[in-house]
Amino acid sequence: MTNFAKLSVLTAVLAIYAYAGADIQSRTLEVSPQIKLELADGQQLRCAVKSWDGLGLEGSCGSIRWERFKPGLAFATLKSLVPETDLDACADAAAVVVSLDEGGIVANSAMDWARKSGVTYKRINTIRSEAVEIKRVRTQRLIAEFTERLSQLTPEASAFPAAAWTSLHSSDAGTVSAATIEAARALLTRAGASATLHETAHVALLVESGDSALAKDAASLERFYRDWREEFERIGATVADQGRIPVVVVSERDHWRLLVQAAFRGDAAQHPDAVVVYPLSGDPPAMRPIALVCPDSDPNRQRFNAAVGLARAVLHLTNSPVRGPAWLNEALPRVMAARAVPGAGMDGALRKRGLIAVRSKVSFTALMASRYGEGVWASDPELAQSMSYMFARWLFDNAPDQFLRYAKGPRTSEAEAARFQRHFSMTIDVACARAAKWFQIND
């Protein structure tokens, strides 16, 4: 059975905040008062409130979290919900407000309100520590929810080990290959599909259509693997042998949608070429890659998509799996694939959105600091992909060896900006400005 490391981590985090949240009493109201809620973003809601606790309130308006309120408005809302004769509820309400405004005027007002309501001196002294706990639980919940969103956005946002890979002994490679291929077949089964297997020395191509001509594609993917392994070895990086890499190609869009959903509950529309998942497989178990390839009726585009998936798998197995910044992690596999399959015409297609943006004075700089799920990666992932590709291709075309060493040399505690400057002898800002200037007049 395939296990995904990120799901176990997420479950653990969710359990932590659920357990901690159990210490904060949930208060169900006998009568659901109809009140007007004013949120921090200016939104106003009419809501029949049914219950509240340390994390938020529930009612006809759904679930509203306290962090969506300004502290003063949260205080006003809680005062309208809490009878002053219920001293425990007053103390809990004050703790919620203090958690939102630690040391602020509103927090002090909430403490005074609880004191005047008759809350005991002993309980008053515990309110601030309760507020710290509420804030801790709230922070853990936000981290867990962000992690869950990222896990559904892309497997590339997972936490990967920083330890370098060790190549498998030849006697173990076959067993590990079989386990990883079996994991790939299990995903296909969950998507309602099956596939014909074409194997080479390093690639296991599973093709749904069963077209024997696709055996040629397996051979071309093997060449792609060998060529890039040689490139990385030439600059001092090592691609560790972890058995054959499964590359899964489905023939129907519906199966593609179901495959991505089965693999990581993802949205297939967000992955126009390929996505790689990292189930724990083999013995010893490790996060070994399985490339899932988006179907395309154009044979060259299909080969490009498969090359993107295999490139990402190769990068995962080069030195350590730890990831660089999002722009680099997304761009390099497409640079590798576009160079290998020029007939797909993807170089121009990948530049299109970014060229329009750069010529409208949109800077590369903001993209450099953006992480998955944030900034332009959240607001316009297609533009982020395009600009990442442009910048990476510009670096690769001007300094290929430096670029590959920067991408896959051993990553240490060195800051990313310092690492970039060490490899390219210029800062990221200078590189962004030079790339933008070049793209102003060149395609």
- Mean pLDDT of the region 395-403: 97
Strand partners, 276: 291
Specify burial of residue 129 (Cβ count, 10 A radius: 0-12, 13-18, 19+): exposed
| pLDDT at residue 89, rounded to an integer | 95
| pLDDT at residue 426, rounded to an integer | 98
The predicted-structure confidence for 37-70, as pLDDT tens digits, reads as follows: 999 999 999 999 999 999 999 999 999 999 999 9
Beta-strand relationship, 196-199 and 62-65: unpaired
Per-residue pLDDT for 18 more than 80? Answer: no
- Mean pLDDT of the region 230-255: 95
pLDDT tier, 23 (very low <50, low <70, confident <90, very high otherwise): low
What mean pLDDT is reported for the chain?
91
The predicted-structure confidence for 169-186, as pLDDT tens digits, reads as follows: 988 999 999 999 999 999
The predicted-structure confidence for 295-342, as pLDDT tens digits, reads as follows: 999 999 999 999 999 999 999 999 999 999 999 999 999 999 999 999
Which residues have a Cβ under 8 Å from the Cβ of 167 and sit 6 or more positions away? 238, 240, 241, 242
| pLDDT at residue 145, rounded to an integer | 86
Least confidently predicted of 45-54, 287-296, 368-377, 418-427: 368-377
- Mean pLDDT of the region 225-251: 96
pTM: 0.78
* Chain-centre distance for alpha carbon 106: 36
Least confidently predicted of 23-37, 83-97, 279-293, 426-440: 23-37
Three-class secondary structure assignment of the chain: CCECHHHHHHHHHHHHHHHHHCCCCCEECCCCCEEEEECCCCCEEEEEEEEECCCEEEECCEEEEHHHCCHHHHHHHHHHHCCCCCHHHHHHHHHHHHHHCCCCHHHHHHHHHHHHHCCCHHHHHHHHHHHHHHHHHHHHHHHHHHHHHHHHHCHHHCCCCCCCCCCCCHHHHHHHHHHHHHHHHHHHHHCCCCCEEEECCCEEEEECCCCHHHHHHHHHHHHHHHHHHHHHHHCCCCECCCCCEEEEECCCHHHHHHHHHHHHCCCHHHCCCEEEECCEECCCCEECCEEEECCCCCHHHHHHHHHHHHHHHHHHCECCCCCCCHHHHHHHHHHHHHHHCHHHCHHHHHHHHHHHHHCCCCCCHHHHHCCCCCHHHHHCHHHHHHHHHHHHHHHHHHCHHHHHHHHHCCCCCCCHHHHHHHHHCCCHHHHHHHHHHHHHHCC
pLDDT tier, 197 (very low <50, low <70, confident <90, very high otherwise): very high
The CATH number assigned to the domain with range 170-323 reads 3.40.30
pLDDT tier, 17 (very low <50, low <70, confident <90, very high otherwise): very low
pLDDT tier, 11 (very low <50, low <70, confident <90, very high otherwise): very low
pLDDT tier, 358 (very low <50, low <70, confident <90, very high otherwise): very high
pLDDT tier, 282 (very low <50, low <70, confident <90, very high otherwise): confident
Per-residue pLDDT for 15 more than 70? Answer: no
| pLDDT at residue 238, rounded to an integer | 94
| pLDDT at residue 412, rounded to an integer | 76
| pLDDT at residue 16, rounded to an integer | 34
Per-residue pLDDT for 10 more than 80? Answer: no
The predicted-structure confidence for 332-349, as pLDDT tens digits, reads as follows: 999 999 999 999 999 999
> C-alpha angle 144/148/154, rounded to 5°?
140
CB 224 within 8 A of CB 310: yes
| pLDDT at residue 212, rounded to an integer | 57
- Mean pLDDT of the region 257-279: 96
Q: What percent of the chain has pLDDT over 70?
A: 93
Tell me the one-letter amino acid at 22.
A
Please state, as a whole number, how many other Cβ atoms lie within 10 Å of the Cβ of residue 404: 23
Question: Domains of the chain: which residue ranges?
Answer: 5-153, 170-323, 325-443
Least confidently predicted of 30-34, 208-212, 404-408: 208-212
pLDDT tier, 150 (very low <50, low <70, confident <90, very high otherwise): confident
CB 406 within 8 A of CB 423: yes
| pLDDT at residue 210, rounded to an integer | 63
CB 365 within 8 A of CB 432: yes
Per-residue pLDDT for 14 more than 70? Answer: no
- Mean pLDDT of the region 13-31: 58
| pLDDT at residue 148, rounded to an integer | 84
Going from the C-alpha of 408 to that of each of 237, 277, 419, the distances in angstroms are 7, 19, 12
